[in-house]
Chains A and B, each alone.
Chain A
Amino acid sequence: MPPALDTRLPESRGHRGAASRQSATDGWRPPIATLALFLAPAILVYAGFTAYPVVRTFYNSVHLVGPNGAAEFVGTGNFSTALFADPVFWTAVRNTAIFTVVGTTVDVFGGLLLALCLFVKVPFTRSLRVIWFLPVLMSYVVVGIIWVWIYDYEWGVVNLLLRAVGLGTLAHSWLGNPDTALWAVMVTHLWKWLGFNMIVFLAALHALPAEVLGAAELDNCGWLAKLVYVIIPMLRPTLVNLMVLSFVGKMMIFDLVWIMTQGGPLWSTETVSTYVYKRAFDWNTFDLGYPSAVAVLWFLIIITFVVVMSLLLRQRDRLEF
């Protein structure tokens, strides 16, 4: 039998429909076992691969961890060693801080600049968008190896170009000199990630309301004023998110440094993550207590900075457009 035609007003129909749905679910609760069955895989994976390692790292950080997990409680001993008696730790902190502050600033504002270039449709926009985004799709291993070659003293592109333009005296071992190694790694990192920030900014720019930008133009707002007073304030949420993401990523930088320099020469590119790895796996000891303490310290520092950044940069007046 065909259903009867409902001739009531949409509002009353919707209300009635919602009410009937509500009454239908009132008497039914999913069985606990069903819930458990469907949630269990995700919970197990999360507990096994995220929660347990984190808890275990905190536990290890206050222990001297012997073979087969045997642990001797040492309280804050590992932390005080790291903070007061380990110069390499502080070198790693300094390098990571430089990498993070400079890298985040250039990364985010460089990405914005590239996005603006594409937004105003500079020549070859389509090609540039692909070219600038391409490095994002490459793995760190590939990027690292390519740039080690690029920086090679004998036949690397950088030195070949310098020699070709008569600046051969500036050619040197970019990754082998403590004065330039960290910056050389940073350039590689930026080369890889600028495209990511660019694409996010470009999406945000295209989402900006044309009326607001048009109104600014009607008010004779110049290009720079429009950027500073209209575009950037409206991009602020995107800007903050990218800054936080970039900041956290750089505070944990490991893979690129490991592939390119392994923290050398003379600890000049040692980051906290590479140092934790070395202490855990390269120090001829199975003790995971000390590296865990460094990891916990760094985790707390990152959390603190992220909270502070979010508080400082949060938008008090919500923009509506």
Chain B
Amino acid sequence: MSNILECSSLVKKYGTKTALSEIDLIIEPGHITGLLGPNGSGKSTLIKLINGLLVPDSGVIRINGMTPDVDTKKIVSYLPERTYLDNSLKVKDIISFFEDFYDNFNKEKAYDMLNHLKINANDSLRKMSKGTKEKVQLILVMSRDAKLYCLDEPIAGVDPAARDYILNTIISNYNENASIIISTHLISDIENILDEILFINQGKITLKSTVDEIRFQEGKSVDALFREVFKC
């Protein structure tokens, strides 16, 4: 089975500023990887490159062996940090939208999760709080049977109870053929569900390890190590 994500010598610049410099990275299927770094480290740039929202300046990026394009967008499920839904729609409208465009979208699963979180499908997005909208987006993203899930701050704007539900959803969605990349600041909350960790700083990957390796070698949590490494 080919690697879900492969980057080699990946470079992306914005004008004179280099956002990503010579990124080499491999993510195999069946992993939940944490992409951790301070603001401006290049996290969102990398995620946008994975999703075809940016084009590299040099180097190579492959999703399941393919260059980011229509075919990779079919197998990558992206949860951006912002709300990207048309506010004038109702939840059920956006569900049928996803159903139309994504073959691997599981409608029953989506409705199941909506019920669990007590969100009414007939409600208009406009009337929802930001936290509820984010839950809806997460449900849409996790209801797709994708090969790579890119979650950008999935639990940031969400209350602690829903956070547990979301983390459990991520765990139970786990399958050995797919991988999840989670980019976040709230490391201590999600540390336990990650297996791999990437520290990224100033456009370079400064550490690639696993949670347990770090705890074993450093005697501290990833969160504590992060604070130490990225001290202001």
Chain A partners chain B = no
Q: Which residues of A contact B (CB under 8 A)?
A: none
Q: Which residues of B contact A (CB under 8 A)?
A: none
